[in-house]
Amino acid sequence: MPEISRFLGIIITMYWSEPKHNLPHFHARYNEFKAQIGIEDLKIIEGELPPRVSGLVIEWASQHKTEL
C-alpha cells in the first residue's frame, strides 16, 4: 500500500483502486491501531485509533482534503 504521509508515528496510506469499498478513503496506522477514514466526511469507516491520534489524522486530512 503506497504511503502518502508519515508524521508523529502515524502512517497514512492509500490504494489507487481498492475494490473492497465504494467510498473514497485512506488508511491510518499508529502502533497496533488501524483505521479507514472516509475522504468526504472524514469519519472512521472501519477500525479504531486512540482519540488523540484520531484528532491528529482528521486535522491532517482536513488540511490535505484537496490532494486526497
- pLDDT tens across 27-49, in order? 999 999 999 999 999 999 999 99
Residue 35 C-alpha cell reads as 483505521
Q: Please check the confidence at residue 18 and state whether its pLDDT lies above 90.
A: no
Boundaries of every domain in the chain: 3-16+23-63
If you ran DSSP here, which 8-state letter would residue 60 be given?
H
Position 21 confidence tier, pLDDT thresholds 50, 70, 90: low
What pLDDT sits at residue 15?
A: 81
Question: What does the buried/exposed string (b/e) look like for 22-36 if buried means 16 or more CB atoms within 10 Å of the residue's CB?
Answer: eeebbbbbbeeeebb
pLDDT score of 58: 96
Task: Name every residue whose Cβ is closer than 8 Å to that of residue 12 and which is 6 or more positions away in sequence.
Answer: 3, 4, 5, 6, 26, 27, 28, 57, 60
Residue 53 scores a pLDDT above 80: yes
